[in-house]
Amino acid sequence: MNDKNDLRPGDVVSVRFGGVLRHYGVVTWGGRVVSNNGRYGGVVTQSVAAFARGRPVINHGPGDSAGDFLATERARRRIGHDYHLTGSNCVHFVRHAHGRKPTVTQVARGTFEAFRDMLGPKRHR
């Protein structure tokens, strides 16, 4: 695992899970990682050790954003938002935090969900 001192706010980090998949998060101030985590049902903040859960952490660097402060603030504002495998997962979360536009798949999924909600029977939550 990377030393906590090697990680800077705004860095994108990941850990391997399920063999070939990766879980991504954004490093914030104080050595914390914010990620959209299906295990916890949404966006959470964790220590680096809790994020890693004993697995090696890969630092992908600062992403494509204009500034670390903006990326960390966007990430922190999402804490508590829900997880959705195809509509709001850890990759979508990291892209949003770094100000990157949604992918074509994200736009298509959002459009589908909106039409389904408008045309389908009312669902109770």
pLDDT higher than threshold 70 for residue 22: yes
Across 28-50, b (16+ Cβ under 10 Å) vs e yields beeebbbbbbeeeebbbbbebee
The whole-model pTM stands at 0.75
**Confidence band for 1, pLDDT divided at 50, 70 and 90:** very low
Q: Which of 42, 45, 97 is nearest to 70 (CA)?
A: 97
Domains and CATH numbers, the chain: 4-119 (3.90.1720.10)
- What pLDDT, in 10s, does the model give residues 47-60? 999 999 999 999 99
Work out the mean pLDDT of the chain and round it to a whole number: 81
Does 44 score more than 60 pLDDT?
Answer: yes
Q: How far apart are CA 24 and CA 15, in angstroms?
A: 7
